[in-house]
Homo-oligomer: A and B are copies of this chain.
């Protein structure tokens, strides 16, 4: 696997520099620190700040959603490694507009530990914070251990809902409540077809046979629930949707937004073939679809495979989902 990179040690910094070169109108660095990205849009006093943090290598997750109507700040780690609590606390401070900050991030050990420390620092600085942890990956733990589930592509929906709620000037309690409500209605499952290469490592993170597919694999190559012989797109989609519906049943009359997310190397053509089948299967049980998200939202560099996320909607979530959002890699206008 060939990578278009320079010195692997500069991989993250150079990509972040690219973001600033391209989108310096929408985002900026905090005091030139390439590991803390902030919105460059005007923010109203008293808006709840929405921040995240996480390892690099998943673009557009995480930093690609900093802008307007989604995230106000993102602390950036090394590839697949959490940023430090220090970066997080600087970011939280910069995103405190007077009514507190929501820390919204995936259920990973390093991110959790560092955000806990950063929130303690924030408290000493009189910034109120709350944490909401994304645990949408149904394949990563069974339902009776749902608290151990990893956060994956569903966090993009959570960023959108939380960001829109904050933009409507909801207070911190209400932003937390609606974000948790959204997450209770979000489920994701992924499949991996091929591995990715961490630049500083230089070789694939795992291997999958040419005629196999791993259902439920995590975005860092965490083991899935099942290795199966390669199936058709319709068969894969059916198996994945069954897993989601077993965890979050949908019934006739329900509405949902579905994200078909490419992990990096899987063509858009194939994501559309998957969406077609989801549309058929959900249509058969009387579920109607709203604002599809088809493309690359949360990746693992050049990993092949995709994930399916279902967000069950109500009127409040629909309104927040369609509210304006504009970041370097997300626009509500073409959803």
> A267 at the A/B interface (Cβ < 8 Å)?
yes
Classify the secondary structure of A's interface with B. Answer: mixed
Most buried by B among A11, A21, A60, A280: A21
Chain A 116-159: CB-based contact to B (< 8 A → 1; otherwise 0)? 00000000000000000000000000000000000000000000
Q: State in angstroms the CA–CA spacing of A265 and B2 once bound together.
A: 11
Interface size on A, residues (CB 8 A): 65
Give the segment of A41-49, A160-168, A312-320, A321-329 that binds chain B: A321-329
- The interface residues of chain B lying within 8 Å CB-to-CB of A6 are 232-234, 273
Q: Are A59 and B269 in contact (CB under 8 A)?
A: yes
> A301 at the A/B interface (Cβ < 8 Å)?
yes
> A286 at the A/B interface (Cβ < 8 Å)?
no
- Contact partner of A4 (CB less than 8 A), chosen from B2, B15, B236, is B236
Query: If A2-B210, A6-B232, A267-B302 touch, does A273 touch B14 (CB 8 Å cutoff)?
Result: yes
Query: If A3-B270, A59-B268, A194-B2 touch, does A276 touch B17 (CB 8 Å cutoff)?
Result: yes
Sample 8 A-B pairs with CB under 8 A, ordered by A number. A1-B304, A4-B236, A5-B232, A14-B276, A22-B279, A22-B294, A60-B268, A329-B334
